[in-house]
Amino acid sequence: MSDRSELLSTGEPFAFDAERDAEFERLIVRYPIRESMIMPALWMAQEQQGWISTEAIEYIAERIGTFPAKVFELATFYTMYQLKPAGQYHICVCRTLSCWLRDKQAIVDYLAEEIGIRPGQISEDGRFSLEEVECLGHCGTAPVVQVNGEFHEEMDLEKFKALLATLE
Amino acid sequence: MAELVKLFVNGQEVEVESGKNLIDALRVVGIEIPHFCYHPALGADGNCRMCLVGIEDGRPPLVPACKTPVQEGMKVLLDAEHIKKIQRDVLEFELINHPVDCPVCDQAGECALQDYYMNYSLDDSRMQVAQVTKGKRMDFGCGVVHDQERCVLCGRCVRFTRQITKTGELGIVNRTDAARVSIFPGKPLNNRYALNIVDICPVGAMTSSDFRFRQRVWFLKKDPGICHGCSKGCAIYIDHHREKYKDDVIYRYRARTNLNVNGYFICDDGRLSYAGENENRQTSALADGAVIGFDEGIELVRERLDRARKPLMLISPDCSLEQMWAVQRIATLYGAELSGYSDNYIIDGDGDEYLINDDKAANRRGLELLEIDFSRAQFLTGLQHTDLLVNFNNDLFFGGVDEELKSLLDKTQSIAVCSHQLQVYESASIVLPTASYSEYGGTIINEDNVLQRFEKALFKNEDPKDVLEITRLLGGAINDAPHAWPGIKQSVACLADIDPQAIPAEGIKLQNSEDTNVGA
């Protein structure tokens, strides 16, 4: 997988909006260990900002009372967290065993050729971004592709081209 | 001593301490179980899988030794084929993306990966794909340099910053073969113990910018010593080497385990204080600024002392107990007043709750036990009335120049017996060079009343004479450190039962610390 440890900064301080602030307070009491709140908080930051910035990670660490490095670990481990602005269509291609064996590479290579994006990149027009992700849990119907969170299973190159056409 | 349990390792019976895990318990009896992530100070993490062993009692075929406490009658398998295979397999995994740059790696010679490869693997690489490349020479702050490619991701460094310093600067980011140790952007290591990370890293991923490329570790002679940086008295290794045609110099200090004093770690200030032993040393005797022979210097000092009407002697609170005793004896011999004044060694607020003390004097307890006065009032009075001050290596300007003392010192005839060239000795008319703490042996007592013994580690080309030897040359009756002990034992009650030759490596916690000294 690609290195996700190069964080981006917005240059502005981050804080939850009123709605998410209330949501944070509602959820935090559920967790006997406050650090368990890191992952829900990262989701909320991503919802609010579209992606998770350096400032958002620092804010979450401060709010939960943990080390920024710990939030950094989780944000980079899970590929569902967007660490930079995504394209209009964010495509995730599973790269774990079953999908790899069932030729996910054909899809990744096609995207490199046709749209010019490699895993971790966004197309120049901002319409597509690509991430190679670890197991999405649909190994029986490999290879699996996610577009903006929606699963497309038993993909092959032809099906993927057709899928891409619907996004145009 | 904990209870002993009998167990079998590869069919052979061994007796070990109960309450420990297999790695620690078997290490004591000389049986090595290879491991990367386990460290006694950081606990069992179980992530490296290198310590997998077999236990023949119906549990799963492989269990991590770091998480397995010893039990009576346990049958441990270390040399079975399936265990050797898992060790080879783990090493193969670790080496897939390892650069194998041992010839330019500082860790070579003390690297777990290198040693285990030689002991447990020796397999050729089967990899035919390009290696994953990661960050090199990354400045993590506090003098720690990180090489992500050499890392085995054992997480010791990460756990150190979270459990020991509680500063949490490090984390393991990404996953799979992209995983790496990193700091959070813009938040480098920022604690006073960071260089311990270099010690605990089992491989060459964490190196010290201070030590990097300065010496191959197999040339270093590693002698136990005690840090004299503050009154904690942390146990250290003095790693030194005499290069051909050069002098014996110290290249680094490392933490030596002493559970009575410092546990497994030392502070960075102490670790880097080795440089002070090499630099700025007083190496020749001086009379009014001109170099003279050492013996000539001794003669001059004797003459001055004989002539002095009201001599005052000042001793450093870093001196060993034996040196203090010897100076106390010649002070009596010459009818001199003796002071151990050293308020300047105390830097208020510098200490912490862990290993750093405010008091930078290594042996103030020694002054107390020998009832050597170290009050400012008495020293000032003495200084005002004396016609000759003999300063035994006491840096009166330790925390900065003391103007009141300086003006008095400038007016007083003084003799400096000193290991370093410092401003405070500039007013001395006679200077005698002396050994510093890595160059003599003795005992010191730390702030928590632990008596520790250390031996002479360095042998210089021109071996400087230590304070005790100089007192002998000045007519004192103490020949060497052991010779001081009968007298010390007689006058200090809490040391009466101590056999100086039998002080264990971890020291002795003295009892009855308060008000026990009689006589003297």
**DSSP annotation of B502:** G
CB contact under 8 A, B175 and A2: no
> Are A162 and A142 in a shared domain?
yes
CB contact under 8 A, A69 and B182: yes
3-state secondary structure of B300: helix
Distance CA A97, CA B486 (A): 75
Q: H or E segment at B172?
A: strand B170-173
Tokens of A119: 């895993």
Other beta carbons within 10 Å of B482: 12
Residue A8 in contact with partner chain B when CB distance is under 8 A: no
- Which one of A4, A9, A72 has the shortest CB-CB distance to B184? A72
Residue A97 in contact with partner chain B when CB distance is under 8 A: no
CB contact under 8 A, B182 and A5: yes
Residue A3 in contact with partner chain B when CB distance is under 8 A: yes
Condensed to tens digits (0 to 9), the pLDDT of residues B202-250 reads 999 999 999 999 999 999 999 999 999 999 999 999 999 999 999 999 9
- Which one of B134, B171, B176 has the shortest CB-CB distance to A72? B171
The partner residues of B250 in beta bridges, in order of sequence, read B240
Q: From the CA of A119, how many Å to the nearest CA of chain B?
A: 13
> Are A98 and A157 in a shared domain?
yes
Ordered DSSP codes for B31-86: -----SS-BTTTB----S-TTEEEESSSS-S-EEGGG-B--TT-EEESSSHHHHHH
Distance CA B201, CA B209 (A): 15
Distance CA B315, CA B261 (A): 25
Domain closes at, from A26, A51, A77: A77
Question: Considering only CA atoms, which of B130, B172, B137 is closest in space to residue B37?
Answer: B172
Per the rule left: phi > 0, alpha: psi between -120 and 50, beta: everything else, B142 is left
- Which one of B178, B180, B183 has the shortest CB-CB distance to A69? B183
Give pLDDT, residue B516. 47
Q: How many CA atoms lie within 13 A of B159 on its CB side?
A: 17
- Which one of A1, A67, A134 has the shortest CB-CB distance to B168? A67
pTM: predicted TM-score of the whole model, two decimal places: 0.93
φ, ψ of residue B359 in degrees (nearest 5) = -80, 115
Residues of B in contact with A70 (CB under 8 A): 168, 171
CB contact under 8 A, A67 and B169: yes
Kindly report the length of chain A. Answer: 168
Tokens of B205: 């991923």
List helix spans (H) across chain A: 18-28, 38-49, 54-64, 68-77, 97-101, 104-114, 157-167
| Cα pseudo-dihedral B31, B64, B91, B155, rounded to 10 | -110
Q: From the CA of B176, how many Å to the nearest CA of chain A?
A: 7
φ, ψ of residue B222 in degrees (nearest 5) = -110, 100
CB contact under 8 A, A5 and B184: no
Computed over every residue of chain A, the mean pLDDT equals: 95
C-alpha dihedral sign at B315, B320, B322, B323: negative
**ipTM > 0.95, yes or no:** no
Distance CA B458, CA A64 (A): 51
CB contact under 8 A, A1 and B173: no
Distance CA B472, CA B396 (A): 24
Give the type of residue at B316: S
Residues of B in contact with A99 (CB under 8 A): none
Q: Using alpha carbons only, give the angle A5, A50, A90 rounded to the nearest 5 degrees.
A: 80
**Chain B residue with minimal CA distance to A9?**
B185
Residues of A in contact with B151 (CB under 8 A): none
Distance CA B391, CA B373 (A): 15
Task: Tell which CATH architecture fits domain B285-509.
Answer: 3-Layer(aba) Sandwich (3.40)
Residue A18 in contact with partner chain B when CB distance is under 8 A: no
pLDDT value at A98 more than 60: yes
Q: Using alpha carbons only, give the angle B271, B275, B277 rounded to the nearest 5 degrees.
A: 105
CB contact under 8 A, A70 and B187: no
Residues of A in contact with B134 (CB under 8 A): 3
Domain closes at, from A47, A77, A107: A77
- Pairing type for strands B4-9 and B75-77 reads parallel
User: Between residues 33 and 72 of chain A, which touch chain B (CB distance below 8 Å)?
Assistant: 54, 57-58, 66-70, 72
Query: How buried is residue A83: exposed, middle or buried, by Cβ count under 10 Å (0-12/13-18/19+)?
Result: buried
φ, ψ of residue A37 in degrees (nearest 5) = -80, -10
Task: For the sheet with B138-141, list strands across it.
Answer: B138-141, B144-146, B206-208
Residues of B contacting chain A (CB within 8 angstroms): 134, 158, 161-162, 167-178, 180, 182-187
Whether A9 is covered by a domain: the verdict is no
Number of compact structural domains in chain A: 2
Distance CA B447, CA B450 (A): 7
Give pLDDT, residue B50. 96
Q: H or E segment at B5?
A: strand B4-9
Which CATH number fits the domain that encloses residue A58? Answer: 1.10.10.1590
Tokens of B136: 């090199």
**Chain B residue with minimal CA distance to A8?**
B185
Task: Tell which CATH architecture fits domain B95-208.
Answer: 2-Layer Sandwich (3.30)
Whether A161 is covered by a domain: the verdict is yes
Tokens of A154: 């038993």
Q: From the CA of B182, how many Å to the nearest CA of chain A?
A: 8
Whether A40 is covered by a domain: the verdict is yes
Distance CA B380, CA B377 (A): 5
Tokens of B484: 């001081």
Work out the average pLDDT over A122-143: 94
Condensed to tens digits (0 to 9), the pLDDT of residues A28-73 reads 999 999 999 999 999 999 999 999 999 999 999 999 999 999 999 9
Q: H or E segment at B326?
A: helix B321-333
> Are A163 and A94 in a shared domain?
yes
Interface test with chain B among A67, A77, A100, by most B beta carbons within 10 Å: A67
Distance CA B127, CA B72 (A): 44
CB contacts < 8 A, A to B, total 59
Whether A32 is covered by a domain: the verdict is yes
Whether A11 is covered by a domain: the verdict is no
> Are A94 and A51 in a shared domain?
no
φ, ψ of residue B495 in degrees (nearest 5) = -105, 0
CA distances in angstroms from B36 to A2, B66, B476, listed in the order given = 26, 10, 54
The partner residues of B21 in beta bridges, in order of sequence, read B69
Whether A82 is covered by a domain: the verdict is no
- Pairing type for strands B388-392 and B311-315 reads parallel
CB contact under 8 A, A4 and B173: yes
Question: Considering only CA atoms, which of B511, B505, B509, B464 is closest in space to residue B225?
Answer: B505
Give pLDDT, residue B514. 52
Distance CA B215, CA B236 (A): 18
- Which one of B170, B174, B184 has the shortest CB-CB distance to A3? B174
Residues 6+ apart with CB under 8 A from B179: B153, B172, B173
> Are A137 and A100 in a shared domain?
yes
> Are A113 and A163 in a shared domain?
yes
φ, ψ of residue A104 in degrees (nearest 5) = -65, -25
CATH 3.10.20.740 assigned to domain B4-79? The reply is yes
Q: Are B383 and B412 in contact (CB under 8 A)?
A: yes
Give the type of residue at B376: R
Which residue stretches of chain B have pLDDT < 70?
1, 512-520
Residues of A in contact with B187 (CB under 8 A): 68-69
> Are A53 and A29 in a shared domain?
yes
> Are A72 and A93 in a shared domain?
no
Question: Considering only CA atoms, which of B221, B216, B217, B195 is closest in space to residue B207?
Answer: B195
Residues of A in contact with B181 (CB under 8 A): none
Residues of B in contact with A7 (CB under 8 A): 185
Distance CA B425, CA B221 (A): 32
Per the rule left: phi > 0, alpha: psi between -120 and 50, beta: everything else, B274 is alpha
> Are A102 and A162 in a shared domain?
yes
Q: Identify the domain containing residue A66 by its residue range.
A: 18-77
Interface test with chain B among A76, A79, A94, by most B beta carbons within 10 Å: A76
Domain closes at, from A55, A77, A99: A77
CATH 2.20.25 assigned to domain B217-278? The reply is yes
Residues of A in contact with B174 (CB under 8 A): 1, 3-5, 76-77
Q: From the CA of B199, how many Å to the nearest CA of chain A?
A: 22
Whether A33 is covered by a domain: the verdict is yes
Whether A144 is covered by a domain: the verdict is yes
CB contact under 8 A, A69 and B178: no
Question: Which residue in this structure is represented by tokens 């930051």?
Answer: A45
Which CATH number fits the domain that encloses residue A122? Answer: 3.40.30.10
Instruction: Please provide the distance, in angstroms rounded to a whole number, between the alpha carbons at the two ends of chain B.
Output: 36
Distance CA B37, CA B31 (A): 18
Question: Considering only CA atoms, which of B309, B306, B316 is closest in space to residue B341?
Answer: B316
Ordered DSSP codes for B243-260: -TTS-EEEEEEEE--BTT
> Are A102 and A151 in a shared domain?
yes
The partner residues of B346 in beta bridges, in order of sequence, read B359
Domain boundaries defined on chain B = 4-79, 95-208, 217-278, 285-509
Q: H or E segment at B141?
A: strand B138-141
